[in-house]
Amino acid sequence: MASELSSHRASSPSIEDILAGDDDELRRIIDELSQDGPPPAPPPAPPPSIPQHIIAAHTVLNVPVGASHEHIKKAYRTSIAAWHPDRFANADAEAHANANTRAREITSAYQTLKSFYGIA
């Protein structure tokens, strides 16, 4: 067994033997593998074209584009709870009207994202 191993070592070329050869492609691969650090990451894919009204709806709900369905629902519930007109029932007319407008914006944004992403 030891003789088989030593004969295998003797018959297999070393890295120096390979580098001394004429195979440029193999030399390039070895150079790439021996460099420090991982290979460079591929460039990021360009973002998909997202309609402006969808971006606006994300802004109203304060969620990033591509957020999960659960994250969108949670943001809607949190926002509508903070701006629901019933919370401003005892406030002055201007604050109540402002809350009413904001609640409509939040609901509209949520409905827009629901239809765009198909959230049930």
pTM over 0.85: no
> Rounded to an integer, what is the distance from CA 4 to the centroid of its chain?
53
Total residues belonging to the chain: 120
The CA distance from 29 to 20, in Å, is 14
Cα angle: 12, vertex 16, 19; to 5 degrees:
105
Distances (CA, A) of 57 to 39, 64, 92: 39, 10, 28
Contact assessment for residue 105 and residue 60, using Cβ atoms and an 8 Å cutoff: yes
pLDDT tens by residue, the chain, 120 residues? 555 555 555 566 666 665 566 677 777 777 777 666 666 677 665 566 889 999 999 999 999 988 899 999 999 999 999 999 999 999 999 999 999 999 999 999 999 999 998 887
In the block, residue with structure tokens 């926002």: 79
Structural domains of the chain ordered from first start: 2-34 (no CATH), 52-117 (1.10.287.110)
